[in-house]
Amino acid sequence: MSGRSIPTKRRWLRWTAILLLLTLALLGKGYWNATRDPIVHRATVEVDNWPAGEPPLKVLLLSDTHAAGPDMPPERLARIVADLNRLKPDLVLIPGDLVSEKRLATHIYTPGEVTAPLHGFKARLGTVAALGNHDHWFDPKAIEAGLRKGGIAVLKNEAIARGPLVIGGVDDDFSNHDD
């Protein structure tokens, strides 16, 4: 009986070690993904009844920045905004989840610290945002105020015109703020 328990213990230890290594590899890959520069995808969208003679618009969408330490401090977000400005967008859209209160965060930033880097966007038709569930769980009024302080329009179940486009912003449905 004791002879059978030793291989069983070794097998259990082997599987435990493999599981631990896989877990560490997945965590490492996740952190590596979180600290990489954003991936820019380009797409062309045809719009029916586009005004004659109106040039195409370059629209930039930046989503789910989840600012928190150590992986997305405001300084990094400011650098990303500066890099994205090199694409010369006509319009910037930010559909929320600007903040994060993740359990492993080394620092939770204030709404002002999170929104200030976004004031750096330079787009001739401006920047338009809507809040996400993480923003509502954090401090939605302060985040909205921080965005508006930088001239960013915040849509809450409403629409605005920017150039030849009408942009609708539906507030977050996950946190029951959509209407």
pLDDT in tens, 92-125: 999 989 998 777 778 899 999 999 999 999 999 9
Confidence of residue 173 (pLDDT cuts 50, 70, 90): low
Preceding omega of 89 cis (within 30 degrees of 0): no
Confidence of residue 171 (pLDDT cuts 50, 70, 90): confident
- According to the model, what pLDDT value does residue 113 have? 95
Give the chain as a DSSP string. Answer: -HHHHHHHHHHHHHHHHHHHHHHHHHHHHHHHHHHSPPPP-------TTPPTTPPPP-EEE-----BBBTTB-HHHHHHHHHHHHTT--SEEEE-S--B---TT-SB---HHHHHGGGGG---TT-EEE---HHHHHH-HHHHHHHHHHTT-EE-SSEEEEETTEEEEEPPPTTTT---
Confidence of residue 5 (pLDDT cuts 50, 70, 90): low
- According to the model, what pLDDT value does residue 141 have? 95
Higher pLDDT, 26 or 131: 131
- According to the model, what pLDDT value does residue 36 have? 74
Name the residue ranges covered by the structural domains of the chain: 1-36, 59-169
Contacts of 154 (CB under 8 A, 6+ apart): 128, 129, 130, 131, 144, 147, 148, 169
Q: What is the mean pLDDT of residues 20-45?
A: 80
Count the neighbouring beta carbons within 10 Å of the beta carbon of residue 50: 13
Mean pLDDT over each residue of the chain, to the nearest integer: 87
Fold classified for 59-169: Purple Acid Phosphatase; chain A, domain 2 (3.60.21)
Count the neighbouring beta carbons within 10 Å of the beta carbon of residue 122: 13
